[in-house]
Every structure is written in structure tokens, then in C-alpha cells.
Chain A
Amino acid sequence: MDTAEINPKATLSVSILSGKGGVGKTNLALNLGFALFGTGHRLLLMDFDVGLANIDVLLGLSPEKNLQDLFRPGATADEVVCPIEEGGFDFLPSASGVPELLEMDEDMREALFSKLNTVFSRYDYLFLDHGAGISPNVLSAASMSRMPIVVVTPEPTSLTDGYAVIKVLSAKHRVRNFHILVNQVADEKEARRTFERLSSACERFLGLTLSFLGGVRTDAAVPEAVMRQVPLMKLSPASPAAKDIIAVAVKIHRHRQKIGSRLKHSPILKNLLERAS
């Protein structure tokens, strides 16, 4: 193994995934980012829901440039990165309504990430907000990150779709270290119960052990924040959902501390050329 520190800042790449759409994935990514930034970490939130991007909408921003612009010769990543908060909470917008980006193959990804890598290394965290579903593009992009987080809700449909994501990623991309975040729960007990259900299915059928990141309660403050295009952590930092999100952020932070020394010796994103077998 290479002993050189190729990732000296130990930037942790985190994928936020869900099989089913509408489970609050993008909103969680944004607010988890906010919580980590609030505790003094630099964080880049990358909207990787190419084709149907909407982090900018949650923020009430209309960035002039996006990922698509990076394919232009001479364009630099700095032109595209746009600040959410001064001091190191930034956002990398994607393009909406560009289906061609969904077809991104390894050459396009390589072209994109060769420009982004230097930018990535300035942050403590790189959050990738992926599109819902199990399209090859979503899954191969998700398999590049060091910490895959699957967001599910207690609904059977969400649970099944989350399970499908885990199954495909483990079978086709050899991803095994899944972290589960249960959104829209009544209480901690329901979050636990939902996790146990998914976890024992993965144990039994896939031989996988999942990590429980926690649950986030259903909270009227969440839709309110979405409507007002202000992050929940900013609008209602004392709301139950915000408290839960902070607890999850703490767990992510601890995870980074635990694997920090290993992170320093591995690329921020795993081999870009790694493909579905």
C-alpha cells in the first residue's frame, strides 16, 4: 500500500442514496451538511442528481454555472463552486433537464473529476447527493464514495427500494459498508424497528451487516423549511428533526475520526474506472 498521504486532509466522501424518490434524501444531505459545517468542518455538497437537480431549489439559489459547464475546455471547478455559507460550506450545482448527463460514462466522469479533485481536497467532507433509483449511472457514481448512506422511511415501498439499492451495489460494485438513515419516523423506536427489518434481510439474504446512523422524526418544520427555501438547520435549529439530524451528523463525524488515518492514504473517490462487473 502507498504510504504517501494522497488525501492529507482526510476528506471523507459520502454518498446519499435512496431507492425510492421522495424520502427526503436531498433535504437530509443539505441539513447534515449544515450541521457538520456548524461544528467547524468545511463541506462541499455536490448535486449529483444529474438530469433532475434540485439542491439549488431547496436553497433558493439560481447558480449561473453547473457541472455541465465543466465539460467546456478551459473551464475550472472554481468557476462552478458556489458558496452556501461563507467560510467553507459550498455547493456544486448540477444541470436540470439534461438527460445526456444521465448517460455519463467513465470517460465523462474522468473528465469531470480530474477537474474537481483539487477542489475536493480543500474540504473535510464531500457529500454526493445522488438521484433516486438504481440506474447504472447512479450506482457506479455511488460506488466511488467512501461512506454510502442509504435513506429509507418505514414505508414498505421505501424499504424494498432501499434493499434493492443495497443488493445491486453489493452484487455489482462490491460495496459492503452501508450506513442506514431512517427518515420520517414517529420516534426512535420506529427508526430502530425499520432498521432491524432491513438489516436482518440484508444479513440473511446478502450476508451484509449494516450500520445504523439513526432516525429523523417527522416534523412540520421540515416542509415549512422547504417551502421557504431555507435550510431547516437555519430556520428551526431547535426542532425535533433538526436535533435528530445533529445526532446523525455527530455519528458521521465520529466515523470520519475512526477511519481518518486510513482515509489519508486512499483517494477521496474510489477508482473512477471501476465499473459494474
Chain B
Amino acid sequence: MPDSIDPAADENRAAILAEILTLRGLLAERMAACDHDDPDGAGDVMLMRLCSGLTLHDWEALAKDHDLHDWLVMPMRGHPLPYLKRIQRSLRELAHLSDHDHLTGLANRAAFERTLAAELERSTRNGTALSLAILDLDDFKAINDTYGHLCGDEVLRQAAAVIADAKRTYDFAARIGGEEFALILPGLGLARAEAAVTRLVAAMSALRVDCQDAASGLRVTVSAGLACTKGKVALSRDGLFGPADQALYEAKAQGKNRLVKAPLVDLTVPPEKTLVGADEKKFLFTGS
């Protein structure tokens, strides 16, 4: 980034940046504090500020360095067409970003929650199986601490690529946390999902990531928790996510780099209304 030679312009830029960053903090706090039940967007506003002396070039540098991709910029002089095109491109990127994780290109948490809800509904309606794997990279903090965040990011990118490569076309892969991923496997029962995720865990341990400081390729492993419903009972989101998360915890406890599967969710719910109970059998046999 070519530095400005005008100290006044520098100062101006720093002031604007400070203001935006403060505003970002305030907005984040506010978003966290209120609930987001506003499907009509009645509460949506656009914030505008005239930034005298700031050039488009300056702004782009600022946006890149401070991750201000969701701010739109419009120059007040010259023909507006090139900038309108730029805004359109930004909006397209924003739409992509609202569903995708910036770093890995996988779907993000919000998209994951939406897809999981839809697939759970489909599974219950159609009585079809649905499996959910939650994957967490092992000892990721140590990688970050030892080799730095740039290396950590590269590990996340390549791990995501392994997951994206392992999934079937209609599986859904998402990054749902720092080093946490999820894989939704529609139509797969526990046994077949187990085989698929076991292959994924093995593929991950075969991965070698080249970071600048690591002498040879860095080895990455993943732990996975797997839960499955056969679609016989209506399940809440937590009814499937909870057991998968619990299984992941168990996989970590057992020594990482492995898959642990939760018991079939449908079998752990109370027996349905058609089960012939012991009292009924006794009555049939003895008449009392």
C-alpha cells in the first residue's frame, strides 16, 4: 500500500478508520443484545458518511487491511457507472459471504443451521435417514501458537479442502466455528455414514500442510462425532446436534484422530405407542 505523503490526509484517514472501528464495535454489541426476529427488514438502515479528502484508492487499502468488506463506497465526483458496478460486485460478494466462510469457502454457521433445520424436517416427513458429523481439528491451538496464525489459516483452508473433497455432491459441509466443521449427510444411515466419515478422518491424517516455518509438511488430524436419525421420530435441532457434539467430546477424550458415533437417536427415545408392553403380554398369557 503506497503511503500518502500528506500528513493531514494521513490524520484524516486514521480518524475515519477509528470512527468506523468504534462504530463496528458498537454495532456488534447492539446486534448481540437484541434478537433478530425481523424478517421484513423493517429495522434495516443504511449508514452514510461523507469522508472529505478520502480517495477511492485510500478506501480500498483501508478496507483490505481492516476487513471492512461490508462497507460500500461511492465517490462524489466523476461518472458513477464504474462505482455502481463495483457496488454491485460487492453486493454479490456479500451475498456469497453471508452464506460462506471467508477463509475456507465452505458454508458458514448460519447456512449450516438453515440446512440442518431443512434436512431434519425432510428426514421426519419422508422417514429417511439423516446423519450429522461434527469435526474438530486436533491440537489446532498448538499449531497457531507454534507456527503462527498464517500457518493456522493455511491448515484450516487445506483441511476444509479435504472435507469438501470427501463429501458427496448432496452432502453439506460447513465451517461452524474456529477449527470446527460440520458435515450433513442426507439419506445416510449410521453404518454408511460411519464408513464415509472414517474415510474422511483417514484422509485428514494423510494431509501434510507446508507452512514456511515447519521443516517438513505439518501433520493435521481431526476428531469426529457422528449422530444419525432414521427419520422415525421428530427431532429438534439439538436432538441431533447434541449427541453428535457429545460423541465428538468422547472422540477427543479417547485420544483424538478418530470417529465416535452416538447411539442411533431413534432408538434412544421412548418406545412408540404400538410397542406391546410386558403387562400386555402377561395379561395375554395369564389372563390377569
Give me the interface of A with B, judged by CB distance under 8 Å: 156, 159-160, 163-164, 167-168, 171-172, 197-198, 200-201, 204-205
- What is the CA–CA distance of A204 and B274 in the complex, to the nearest angstrom? 15
**A171 touching B273, Cβ below 8 Å:** yes
**B274 touching A160, Cβ below 8 Å:** no
**A205 touching B273, Cβ below 8 Å:** no
Nearest chain-A residue to B276 (Cβ)? A164
**B274 touching A167, Cβ below 8 Å:** yes
Query: Of A168, A171, A172, A198, which contacts B284 at CB under 8 A?
Result: A198
- A-B contact number at CB 8 A: 32
Q: How far is the CB of B125 from chain A (nearest CB, A)?
A: 12
22 example contacts (A-B, Cβ-Cβ < 8 A) are as follows: A156-B284, A156-B285, A159-B284, A160-B281, A160-B284, A163-B276, A163-B280, A163-B284, A164-B274, A167-B274, A167-B276, A167-B280, A171-B273, A171-B274, A172-B274, A197-B287, A198-B284, A200-B283, A201-B280, A205-B279, A205-B280, A205-B283
Contacts of B276 in A (CB 8 A): 160, 163-164, 167
**B274 touching A197, Cβ below 8 Å:** no
**B287 touching A200, Cβ below 8 Å:** yes
- What is the CA–CA distance of A200 and B277 in the complex, to the nearest angstrom? 15
- What is the CA–CA distance of A171 and B279 in the complex, to the nearest angstrom? 18
Give me the interface of B with A, judged by CB distance under 8 Å: 273-274, 276-277, 279-281, 283-285, 287
Contacts of B280 in A (CB 8 A): 163, 167, 201, 205
The secondary-structure label for the interface of chain B is helix
Q: How far is the CB of B124 from chain A (nearest CB, A)?
A: 13
Nearest chain-B residue to A276 (Cβ)? B127
Contacts of A163 in B (CB 8 A): 276, 280, 284
**A197 touching B273, Cβ below 8 Å:** no
Nearest chain-A residue to B283 (Cβ)? A201
Q: How far is the CB of B134 from chain A (nearest CB, A)?
A: 32
**A204 touching B285, Cβ below 8 Å:** no
Q: How far is the CB of B285 from chain A (nearest CB, A)?
A: 5
Nearest chain-A residue to B273 (Cβ)? A171
- What is the CA–CA distance of A237 and B265 in the complex, to the nearest angstrom? 55
Contacts of B273 in A (CB 8 A): 171
Contacts of B274 in A (CB 8 A): 164, 167-168, 171-172
Q: How far is the CB of A36 from chain B (nearest CB, A)?
A: 31
- What is the CA–CA distance of A258 and B284 in the complex, to the nearest angstrom? 31
Contacts of A204 in B (CB 8 A): 283
Q: How far is the CB of B266 from chain A (nearest CB, A)?
A: 15
Contacts of A200 in B (CB 8 A): 283, 287
Contacts of A172 in B (CB 8 A): 274
Contacts of A159 in B (CB 8 A): 284-285
Contacts of A156 in B (CB 8 A): 284-285
Nearest chain-B residue to A193 (Cβ)? B287
Contacts of B279 in A (CB 8 A): 205
Given contacts A164-B274, A197-B284, A197-B287, 16 further A-B contacts (CB under 8 A): A159-B284, A160-B276, A160-B281, A163-B276, A167-B274, A167-B276, A168-B274, A171-B274, A172-B274, A198-B284, A200-B287, A201-B284, A204-B283, A205-B277, A205-B279, A205-B283
Question: Interface centre among B277, B280, B287, by most A CB within 10 Å?
Answer: B280
Q: How far is the CB of B51 from chain A (nearest CB, A)?
A: 63
Which 10 residue pairs of A and B lie closest in terms of their CB atoms, listed nearest first?
A168-B274, A171-B274, A164-B276, A201-B283, A171-B273, A159-B284, A201-B284, A205-B280, A156-B285, A167-B274
